[in-house]
Amino acid sequence: MVEPTGEQNLGQQEGEDLFVDDPGALTEPSVDLSHFAFDGSEPVGTISDPQVDARFDGDTSALPAPVCYALQELVAAAHVSVRSRNWKTIEVHEEVIRSRLSELNLQLEINREHKYAFTRQVSENDPRQRNILRAQTLTLAASVLALFLRQKYLTSADESVVAERGEIMDHMLTYKPVSDTDEAGFIKRIDAAINQLESRKIIRALPGTDRYVVHGVIASLLGPEQVAAYTEAYRRLAGEHAEDGTDLTELDDRERTT
């Protein structure tokens, strides 16, 4: 379904303030958010007229215009929700869309349960390959916040998962070093992390409140290896293992009611 990339230093000295984001300290795994964006347009019906009409002078495409526009959104916006006017087109013409994306070393991923689609960049280790998707990374603070919200989403039985700003602050403040007396500065870094997730459309602020809707794409934000690596960083920041002993990688196997 946010990028330079590199590997996070998970073995930093105890007590070091990991919320001071130093680009030189960030390495793999990166959080690739290039696949995730929400579209606010309204859905339309399936294609009823497959006739291929030229969309512009010199158009030589053999595909119907709706398929072309669906391909464009998958590459440019990189995430298509059920609210998109292109959603039905992707469902009906999945085979041809998947084939055309494959020509660009892009793999189509469709989540039919939560109704969103996105593309992944596939690497074949060929020097002739050119990456189409632009990578983006999260700061460490935003990554830790994403893990917290991801766990909240995966363990919630509610149809709409909402996080209060207060609970976010309480959770993140547990990582403030004892030696850090600048609480106001630390809170600013937390706010910056919230803003980064909001700008990437991972969460959405509810107008007039201090509450945020957590979007379902957060479940696909991190792969198993990234979750494991960030979980370790998460626990190092806390200075102790999670109280309930839950491994965040195990949450993917749990079903949630939606």
> What residues contact residue 71 under an 8 Å CB cut-off, 6+ apart?
63, 97, 100, 101
Strand partners, 164: 211
For the chain, how far is it from start to end, CA to CA, in angstroms?
A: 18
Average pLDDT rounded to a whole number, residues 204-225? 85
Q: From the options 1.10.10, 1.10.390, 3.40.1350, 1.10.3470, give the CATH code of 139-253.
A: 1.10.10
Prediction pTM value: 0.61
169-212: pLDDT as tens digits: 999 988 887 787 888 888 999 999 999 999 888 899 999 999 99
Distances from the Cα of 106 to the Cα of 51, 130, 217, angstroms:
26, 11, 19
Bond into 207 cis (ω within 30): no
229-247: pLDDT as tens digits: 777 776 676 554 344 444 4
Residue 159: pLDDT band by 50, 70, 90 thresholds? confident
Q: Where in the chain is the domain with CATH 1.10.10?
A: 139-253
